[in-house]
Amino acid sequence: MSLKLERLQGFEGARPVVLVIMDGVGIGKYVEGDYVRSASMPTLAWLKEHGVYTQLKAHGRAVGMPSDADMGNSEIGHNAIGCGRVYDQGAALVGKAVESGSMFEGKTWQELVANVKGKGTTLHFIGLLSDGNVHSHLDHLKGMLQQAAKEGVKRVRIHALIDGRDVPPTSALDYVRPFEAFLAELNGKAGVDYAIASGGGRMNITMDRYEANWDMVARGWACHVRGEGRQFASAEAAIETYRAEIPGVLDQDLPAFVVAKDGQPLGPIGDGDSVVLFNFRGDRAIELSKAFEQGDEFKGFDRGRRPDVLFAGMMQYDGDAGIPKRFLVEPPRITRTIGEYLADAGVRQLAISETQKYGHVTYFFNGNRAEKFSGELEDYVEVPSDIVPFEERPWMKSAEITDKLLEAIPSGKYGFIRVNYPNGDMVGHTGVFDAVHIAMEAVDLALARLLPAVEKAGGILVVSADHGNSDDMYEHAKDGSVKLGADGKPKARTAHSLNPVPAIVWAPGRENQVHLADDVEGLGISSLTATCLNLMGFATPEGYDRPIVKLG
């Protein structure tokens, strides 16, 4: 297919078109716990009234997940928005590969197994121990363990990252206990030695992203690889102890632990071992992959002696950089993104966010591509995030991001600007209700500052989200009632929601030319792409999902 954009007849097009992605801001199903609705957001309300407004799907099949019971997330959300159509994503691809057995027929799996069988060494699995299906799925791990036992792998160690973010915030034992029972049954039937060796909360160890906090990865390396840290008889004992010692701690923040017997760690990673990072999502897997694969060029932290292992990821997390070198499942090959089309058409673009979502408006938005399509026509701006708990600074870097936008919009340099405000997602994940209110109001203030600049520049503002989160902050029972904790207060829900997200087009001075499309029922966030192209005066490319507006 051609990358050449055709001009849209009957609509001249605006410059700039500014796409604002309010990360984690959905439209709540329940009044109780919808902190987008209960926050003071007069600018968002004004835009809904004065712009073209609809709702878009941001979860399930609308973003390439296996079923509509699956949450969306920032990675696949930005993939969908950036490429204008839906691809099968990691969860679906890996699930099919495990179920069909194609993963185990691949060269990488066979090398990993042959390595440990030939040397009598250990096969290790590192990853998120839950069924959240955002970074990993427990069924994928179980399938690999069963296959390893079937193929005669005698010793396996699991390094379990505790979730509490894509699943209920204190649900760790609901996963660990059944998983330990699964391992016990597998050990008994197959005569193997499979056990959890280390772990900790995903926001405390290992799963950093965008090199925001290498100390997280260093803590994970210490317990997973070196077997260093506080010792416990089991993962269950570690979780129960930390909960008793740190009242109110969420699973995602649990400190690192090492499972030991007679004072000896159960599973440090040594020379000759094979290691699988079984998370399929890339952003929080790249840094650990670098730690295992890179030599002297690695600068993240002091690894000490790096063991000589055969390392593989569930997928290749960065195709351009080739990270990791070995992987079990081919990632989606996403082509013809809006960024590529606009670069080919000579349209200058700006992508901006703070560190926490910088990779989303660049790498993921560009179809999992690290490099720019045009060094001359694309500017990327990263505002460094603060390394503090998000609930302590819920405004995050919304003001600084907006300052940069207020320089860019009137400059006349850019035809397309895309920005991510991370507050609704990153603060929503904390479960701290008052902080979420502040986060939402900070985003609304940023929108208020943008409106005059967009109008003065003759531009058009498109406001939407990649998925929901802050719109669904309470645990609800099946009858819709709010679940209460022992203190009588609502139980916090920290995962993404299954709710739709708002989509607003505000075209000051062009209100008579920009209207809601005739049939928007069931459209997903992938429709934002054709919408932005149309507003710039370009026709919808072949194969793109249809826009939410009609023009003229």
Are 165 and 132 within 8 A, CB to CB?
yes
- Residue 532 tokens read as 């932005």
Distance (Å, whole) CA 357 – CA 548: 25
Question: How far is Cα of residue 381 from the mean position of the Cα atoms in its chain?
Answer: 20
Beta strands 460-464 and 378-383: pairing type? unpaired
Catalytic residue among 74, 130, 385, 526: 74
Nearest to 396 by CA among 452, 453, 449, 357: 357
Give the DSSP H or E segment for 17: strand 17-22
Distance (Å, whole) CA 74 – CA 475: 21
Distance (Å, whole) CA 459 – CA 481: 44
38 catalytic residue (yes or no) = no
Which residue has 């952003």 as its token pair?
283
Nearest to 497 by CA among 395, 425, 419: 425
Angle among Cα 27, 29, 32 to the nearest 5 degrees reads: 100
Q: How big, in percent rounded to 5, are the helix, strand and coil portions of the chain?
A: 35, 20, 45
Beta strands 193-201 and 327-329: pairing type? unpaired
Which residue has 């993939």 as its token pair?
79
Q: Considering all CA atoms of the chain, what is the largest pairwise distance in Å, rounded to the nearest integer?
A: 78
Are 430 and 494 within 8 A, CB to CB?
yes
Distance (Å, whole) CA 345 – CA 366: 16
Nearest to 264 by CA among 240, 306, 232, 218: 232
Intra-chain end-to-end CA distance of the chain, in Å: 27
What SS3 class is residue 238?
A: helix
Residues in the chain: 552
Distance (Å, whole) CA 10 – CA 322: 45
Cross-strand pairs, 419: 20, 352
Distance (Å, whole) CA 113 – CA 148: 7
Distance (Å, whole) CA 112 – CA 120: 12
What residues are annotated to the active site? Answer: 74
